[in-house]
Structure 1
């Protein structure tokens, strides 16, 4: 019976890691693949390598927290471990069905909380710290995104260069016996710098994904008297990531879905750096947190800040009939340039093989804060307040449901 439960636990861990690898590879390397900077196989290889680096270093702290600190490791019996992984996998299913970036980390912690409540062993002080981080992290992501969008993004948008190449960025010269790599001859120095930035940030996003998500796949199986050691858990999680990266991620990379699809490449890179950094710091501190929540909060803040640039702080503080109904969010990133300065290609443009408009020979100046009017914004493409409420509701609902659903299960098991 125990052997069957162990096999079930390992299978559940692989299932969770498989889905994480498939979805996270597309989010991290979508811009790089869409721009033809790297091939899908190269993207999967880089993702697995940097996810392993993140899981093996920073990710250990999160595994330690989820495997032995929220509840004592001895509570993770084979049956309890399978149950926790079941609820974690269910969160991935809910996220895919509703198209909302529900947090796997938050749901996994919710299931562990259910175990702690059922056994009376929950570390309440630690949970207070974790829940506080869940509140502070998205608020910080939103604030940083807002400041960048309002005061910095327009200047970066004027001078950043991101090119979609007809042929891949790295070419192979097969004229000799040994193929020799060389850069695309059409790449300018600005293209090279922008391309290397896209690839470097994608690798950083993979590192952050590995650091935060390895625990979601294997933490219940790791710990004192557990089925796996920490090293074995990391290797199992990354192997499952790889399975997803080299299989279902190919479709994700082709369609580049998820919540950053229609962002310009520049905006997606900012979102990746801000969200990834916040989650990496929390992972270093051993706090399980959601990369999806932090990146989505940054997207909302970045769009809000960009749209709010059309008004001064005094005008925002005292709404008038002209601006009180103006919705502020992601769509403002798509209308950030004047008509004579078309925006850089979005990730969705690249996925659909649409060609961006040509940039003008002269770079227009950036209007000062408060000079652009609301008419410059395409309000139909702005982030819908109803959609924002749906996302926030799912962030709160999924871990809450995990606690409510897992508690009676664990009462029966223990």
Structure 2
């Protein structure tokens, strides 16, 4: 029976890792594939490689926390491990059914908390630290996004370039006996720097995803009486990531991801850098946290900061009839009309091969904060308020339901 439960647990862990790899690959490398910088197969290989690096290094700390620190490792019997993994897999199913990026990390922790409450072995001090991090991390990302959008984004947008190539960025010269790689000859120096940035940030996102998500797939099995060692768990998780990266991720990469298609390339790089850094830092301290929550908070902050440039801080804090009527909307990221400069291309524009508007020969200087009226906000929105409420509700609801359901199962059934 124990062997059967172990096999079932490994099967569920593979299912969880398979879905994580499928969804995370699209988020990390959607911009690079959509703009023909790399191919889908290359994206899968890069995600597996850097995901493994993140899981093997920083991710070990998160695995240790979830497998033995929230509750003692002895609590992860084979049946308990399967049950916890079941709730983690169920959160992925709910996320896919409702089209909402529910936090796998938060749900997995919620299931473990239910086990700890039912057995009376929950490490309450550690959970206080983890929950505090869940509150502080998105607020930090939000603040960084606001500051960046308000004071830095227009200048970064003015001096960066992203383009789409008819052929892939890296080409192979097959005229000789040995194929030689070379950079697409249609790329300018600015295009090359921008394009390499997209790929490098994608690799960094893969590293962060591996660091934070490996534990979601295998932590219960690592704590389950030595069913798997940490190293074996990492290998199993990354193998499952790879299975998803090379199969279901191809469709995600093809559509570039519904949640990010209208996000400008520059904004996506900032979001990935901020969200990935926050999650990597938390993972290094062994704190499981959600990459989706951090990145979404950064998106909201960027949009709010970008729109708020139409007024000074004093005008925002003390509105009056004489003050600009500023509409703070995340849709501000998809337009630069406040500076009379065409907006940079979005990920969707590049993937659909839409030609960006031509920039004028003489680009006007960027006005100071509060020096112009409110921006002409595009109707397209990066983050619809109704969608925001639905997503935040799911972020709170899924781990809460995991705690209640897990506690009920362990208290009354097992």
The two structures have a TM-score, normalised by structure 1, of: 0.96
Q: Match of 2:101?
A: 101
Q: Match of 1:37?
A: 37
Structural mapping, 1:372-383, within 5 Å? 372-378=372-378, 381=381, 383=383
Work out the CA distance in 1 between the residues paired with 2:258 and 2:120: 39
Structural mapping, 1:6-405, within 5 Å? 6-223=6-223, 225-320=225-320, 327-337=327-337, 340-378=340-378, 381=381, 383-405=383-405
- The answer on whether the counterparts of 1:142 and 1:300 sit within 8 Å (CA) in structure 2 is yes
Work out the CA distance in 1 between the residues paired with 2:184 and 2:334: 28
Of 149-158 and 338-347, the range deviating more from structure 2: 338-347
Aligned residues: 414
Of 393-402 and 281-290, the range deviating more from structure 2: 393-402
CA-to-partner distance for each residue in 1:260-303, whole Å, 9 max, x for gaps?
22111000000000000000000000000000000000000000
| Runs of at least 5 residues in structure 2 that lack an aligned partner in the other structure | none
Of 44-53 and 318-327, the range deviating more from structure 2: 318-327
CA drift of 1:411 comes to 1.5
Of 340-349 and 129-138, the range deviating more from structure 2: 340-349
Work out the CA distance in 1 between the residues paired with 2:364 and 2:198: 24
CA drift of 1:236 comes to 0.2
- In the superposition, relative to structure 1, how do residues 376 and 315 fare at CA in structure 2: closer, same or farther (>3 Å)? same
CA drift of 1:324 comes to 9.5
Work out the CA distance in 2 between the residues paired with 1:325 and 1:117: 50
- In the superposition, relative to structure 1, how do residues 277 and 339 fare at CA in structure 2: closer, same or farther (>3 Å)? closer
- In the superposition, relative to structure 1, how do residues 192 and 310 fare at CA in structure 2: closer, same or farther (>3 Å)? same
Work out the CA distance in 2 between the residues paired with 1:322 and 1:297: 31
| Runs of at least 5 residues in structure 1 that lack an aligned partner in the other structure | none
| RMSD of Structure 2 on Structure 1 (CA) | 1.7
Of 255-264 and 157-166, the range deviating more from structure 2: 255-264
- The answer on whether the counterparts of 1:323 and 1:374 sit within 8 Å (CA) in structure 2 is no
CA-to-partner distance for each residue in 1:297-324, whole Å, 9 max, x for gaps?
0000000000111111111112346889
For residue 381 of structure 1, give the secondary structure of its aligned residue in structure 2.
coil
Work out the CA distance in 2 between the residues paired with 1:145 and 1:335: 17
Work out the CA distance in 2 between the residues paired with 1:84 and 1:306: 42
- The answer on whether the counterparts of 2:327 and 2:374 sit within 8 Å (CA) in structure 1 is no
The two structures have a TM-score, normalised by structure 2, of: 0.96
Work out the CA distance in 2 between the residues paired with 1:379 and 1:328: 13
- In the superposition, relative to structure 1, how do residues 16 and 327 fare at CA in structure 2: closer, same or farther (>3 Å)? farther
CA drift of 1:258 comes to 4.3
Work out the CA distance in 2 between the residues paired with 1:14 and 1:362: 55
CA-to-partner distance for each residue in 1:352-374, whole Å, 9 max, x for gaps?
22222223333331111012322
